Structure formats: structure tokens, C-alpha cells
């Protein structure tokens, strides 16, 4: 026993000398603490999320949208030209996305949904698709798996559901100062994790909302599938106030499983304006074959 203790003490005593010969220092970007850090309790954060969701009943947005497909699995990325257009949203689940061809102004894509059924019309390719709002048979073409729920769930951040529980954790992210990209700030955040009701000792994560403690507004939302994989990551920036409701004018939607990214920039936004039923109607020409995507 004494011999073992002596050997252990000798190793500890030699460690500084040995490691000193092997250490290597490299320069890394320097960060600094955030100038403003706001505090909030879990209950207050939930009230704010619910209030922002409840404050919006309809949305009429003029947008520019850019799509990027591909990634590591394909070994390449393809970026498509930006399209201007509109997004109409009406609770509980009505949605229309209308995109126009640059310069020409003709319809490039028209998609509508009532939350249960879904229609898509792409005139240039004489392509029409319909089906349920859920993907039951995934396509190898990621964009063919695009459903209105991707837009709806990314545009409006839902609060705590009646069949969910929530936990609060804290973390820190490093962000660049908008006026000086070399100025890196360590910004604390709050993370709201929403879980389905536990079954026994297991629980399934539904969503995680990342909230900046600089302004107590969401900057990211992660949406999980039934198998625990992230199906959607939405990033929010450039908030503007509409009455008492802050809303992000830039939203980036990442779909890691489908290997595509949609970047939506809102140029004009009107909230809670009455939207008519015909604004959510899409008539596919009779001579166009319709592909069922159930």
C-alpha cells in the first residue's frame, strides 16, 4: 500500500513538468460578455410565447423566398433564384403560398391547405399535386416532401399544448455584433423544451424554443419528429413591432432530413386583416394530370 501511495505521489509531482513540455497554445477568436442580459421566470416566458401566438389570427405577407437543396449526403448544394410572392395565413390552419416568376410576374408556384388536405400547382412544369398534409411516403426529392405545416409551424411559434409538459434550461451562444462582425458576444439564452406527456419513465421531445436573453424573443425553434430526429429548424431575426406584437421579418427554415433550406424575407406584413375564403382556393386546370402524394 505504501509503495502504491509513493508511486501515485511521484506521478502527481511530475505531471506539471511532463505536461509543460507538451502543451500548445493557439489563438482563438476572443469573446466578451453581453451588455444586456434580461431575466425571466418560466411562467413569464410561457405567457409571452402564448401571447404572441394568440395575438395573430391572420397574416398577409409580401415575401422574397430563396431555396437551397442538397448538402453533405449529396456532396453538393444547389441554390435557386429568389421568387417574390405572398403568404396568406388564417387560423386555425388555412394557408396559401403564392410565388411569381421574376420579372414576368406569372405564377411560379401556388400551394394551399386547410390543415387536412393540400394542393400544389406549378404551371411551368405542368405539375399538379394533391394529398393529405402529412407525408406518408417520403420522396427522394426533398422539395416534394414540402407541406404547408412546414410554413405554418415555422411562421407561428406555438405555446404549451394541453397534452404537453415543459422544462426550462439555460445555455449560451456566441453572436457577432451587427455593426462589427469581429466583435463576438457571449449571449445567454433560455431554452423551453416541450415534451409529450410521459409514458411511464420515457418522454418524447416535441419542440425546443431558444429565447435570447438580450430581448426575450425566440431566435431559433427546433421541431422533432416521432423518432426523436429534428425535422425542422427555424431561425428568426430582424424583429419589427406590429402594434404590440413583435414579428421576425427574416425566417430561415432548415429541413435536415429532406436536405433543403428556405429563406423567407418579409418586405410587407399585415396582421389580423380579414381574409376571404377565395384567397385559400386553388383551382387546378382540368387538362392537367394530378399526382397524388398520399
**pTM for this one?**
0.87
Q: Cis peptide before 117, with omega less than 30 degrees from 0?
A: no
List, as one string, the DSSP characters of 118-142.
EEEEEGGGTEEEEEESS-SS--SSG
Closest CA to 184 of 25, 31, 287, 1: 31
Structure confidence at residue 178 (pLDDT): 82
What integer best gives the mean pLDDT of the chain? 88
| pLDDT over 80 at 133, yes or no | no
Structure confidence at residue 77 (pLDDT): 82
The share of the chain scoring above pLDDT 70, in percent, equals 88
Q: What is the pLDDT of residues 159-184, one digit of tens each?
A: 999 899 999 999 999 999 888 888 89
Strand 218-224 versus strand 230-242 pairing type: antiparallel
Structure confidence at residue 141 (pLDDT): 59
Confidence of residue 138 (pLDDT cuts 50, 70, 90): low
Q: Which residue has the cell 502543451?
A: 23
Is the CB of residue 130 less than 8 Å from the CB of residue 293? yes
CA gap 173, 186 in Å, rounded: 6
CA gap 262, 69 in Å, rounded: 9
Is the CB of residue 96 less than 8 Å from the CB of residue 115? no
Strand 164-176 versus strand 184-196 pairing type: antiparallel
Q: What average pLDDT does the segment 140-155 reach? A: 77
| Cell numbers linked to 34 | 453581453
**163 torsion bin: left (phi>0), alpha (psi -120 to 50), beta (else):** alpha
Query: Of how many residues is the chain composed?
Result: 294
CA gap 138, 164 in Å, rounded: 27
* 161: Cα separation from own chain's centroid: 18
Considering only residues 12 and 158, tell me which one the structure prediction assigns the higher pLDDT: 158
Strand 76-79 versus strand 58-71 pairing type: antiparallel
Considering only residues 125 and 222, tell me which one the structure prediction assigns the higher pLDDT: 222
Q: Residues with Cβ < 8 Å from 40, sequence gap 6 or more?
A: 48, 190, 216
Is the CB of residue 217 less than 8 Å from the CB of residue 239? yes
Q: Can you say whether the dihedral through the CA atoms of 43, 49, 51, 57 is positive or negative?
A: negative
Considering only residues 84 and 6, tell me which one the structure prediction assigns the higher pLDDT: 84
Amino acid at each position: 500500500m505504501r509503495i502504491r501511495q509513493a508511486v501515485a505521489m511521484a506521478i502527481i509531482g511530475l505531471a506539471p513538468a511532463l505536461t509543460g513540455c507538451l502543451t500548445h497554445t493557439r489563438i482563438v477568436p476572443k469573446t466578451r460578455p453581453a451588455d444586456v442580459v434580461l431575466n425571466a421566470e418560466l411562467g413569464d416566458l410561457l405567457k409571452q410565447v402564448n401571447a404572441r401566438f394568440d395575438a395573430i389570427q391572420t397574416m398577409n405577407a409580401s415575401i422574397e423566398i430563396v431555396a437551397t437543396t442538397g448538402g453533405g449526403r449529396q456532396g453538393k448544394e444547389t441554390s435557386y433564384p429568389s421568387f417574390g410572392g405572398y403568404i396568406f395565413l388564417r387560423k386555425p390552419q388555412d394557408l396559401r403560398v403564392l410565388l411569381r416568376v421574376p420579372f414576368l410576374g406569372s405564377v411560379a408556384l401556388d400551394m394551399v391547405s386547410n390543415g387536412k388536405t393540400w394542393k400544389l400547382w406549378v404551371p411551368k412544369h405542368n405539375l399538379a399535386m394533391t394529398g393529405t398534409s402529412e407525408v406518408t411516403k417520403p420522396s427522394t426529392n426533398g422539395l416534394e416532401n414540402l407541406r404547408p405545416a412546414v410554413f405554418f409551424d415555422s411562421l407561428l411559434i406555438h405555446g404549451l399544448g394541453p397534452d404537453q409538459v415543459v422544462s426550462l434550461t439555460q445555455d449560451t451562444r456566441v453572436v457577432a455584433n451587427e455593426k462589427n462582425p469581429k466583435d463576438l458576444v457571449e449571449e445567454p439564452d433560455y431554452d423551453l423544451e416541450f415534451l409529450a406527456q410521459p409514458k411511464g419513465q420515457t418522454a418524447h421531445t416535441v419542440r425546443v424554443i431558444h429565447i435570447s436573453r438580450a430581448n426575450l424573443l425566440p431566435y431559433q425553434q427546433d421541431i422533432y419528429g416521432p423518432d426523436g430526429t429534428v425535422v425542422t429548424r427555424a431561425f428568426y431575426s430582424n424583429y419589427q413591432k406590429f402594434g404590440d406584437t413583435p414579428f421576425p421579418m427574416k425566417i430561415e427554415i432548415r429541413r435536415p432530413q429532406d436536405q433543403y433550406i428556405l429563406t423567407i424575407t418579409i418586405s410587407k406584413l399585415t396582421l389580423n386583416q380579414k381574409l376571404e375564403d377565395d384567397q385559400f382556393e386553388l383551382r387546378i386546370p382540368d387538362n392537367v394530370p394530378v399526382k397524388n402524394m398520399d
